[in-house]
């Protein structure tokens, strides 16, 4: 997210500054020097969650307190969303500012809730369908105008024959 500070990225993604720093270091290839370390407790827990182990089993195996295992599990559950956010970033590229502006506007208006976002998406879908329908209607109007023009010419030619 070029041009954004670590704090801005953390605010938008709802990820801790430490985790953002880690992601940036990995992205920049700066994590390679740490590869020889044994896996962290977080890595071990995530691997166990990935293997389908229960939170209780992970807490026992890694000797973790309740609040630690809850925090780790919540972090684990957020990773797919962060992957989706990176996909959005990759898709939007330099147009990310439009997405962030939308986010900020919705937040400023107090409509940054799941129901409000769902209504927004539904409205966008309806708008897209409305645009499609209006194009169809414009096409029909064009065809009807052509038909009207033809009929007017026929009326003129019949009228001129009757004179």
Are residues 90 and 163 both part of a single domain? Answer: no
Are residues 90 and 15 both part of a single domain? Answer: yes
The answer to whether 132 and 139 are in contact (CB under 8 A) is no
The answer to whether 7 and 17 are in contact (CB under 8 A) is yes
* pTM exceeds 0.85, yes or no: no
Question: How far is Cα 45 from Cα 40, in angstroms, rounded to an integer?
Answer: 9
Residue 48, domain member (yes or no): yes
Average pLDDT, the chain: 85
Residue 103, domain member (yes or no): no
Residue 81, domain member (yes or no): yes
State the residue range of the domain holding 83.
Answer: 6-96
Choice between 18 and 107, residue whose per-residue pLDDT is larger: 107
14: left (phi over 0), alpha (psi -120 to 50) or beta: left
Per the structure, how many domains does the chain have?
A: 2
159 — phi, psi (to 5°)?
Answer: -65, -40
Structure confidence by residue, pLDDT tens digits, 69-102: 999 999 999 888 888 888 888 888 878 888 889 8
């Amino acid at each position: 997210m070029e041009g954004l500070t670590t704090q801005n990225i953390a605010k938008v993604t709802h990820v801790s500054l430490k985790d953002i720093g880690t992601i940036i270091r990995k992205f920049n290839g700066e994590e390679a020097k740490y590869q020889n370390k044994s896996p962290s407790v977080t890595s071990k827990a995530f691997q166990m969650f990935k293997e389908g182990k229960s939170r209780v089993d992970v807490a026992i195996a890694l000797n973790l307190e309740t609040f630690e295992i809850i925090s780790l599990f919540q972090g684990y559950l957020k990773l797919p969303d962060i992957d989706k956010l990176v996909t959005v970033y990759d898709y939007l590229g330099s147009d990310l500012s439009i997405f962030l502006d939308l986010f900020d506007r919705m937040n400023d208006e107090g409509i940054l809730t799941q129901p409000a976002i769902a209504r927004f998406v539904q409205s966008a879908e309806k708008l897209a369908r409305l645009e499609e329908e209006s194009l169809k209607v414009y096409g029909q109007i064009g065809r009807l105008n052509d038909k009207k023009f033809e009929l007017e010419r026929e009326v003129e030619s019949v009228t001129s024959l009757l004179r």
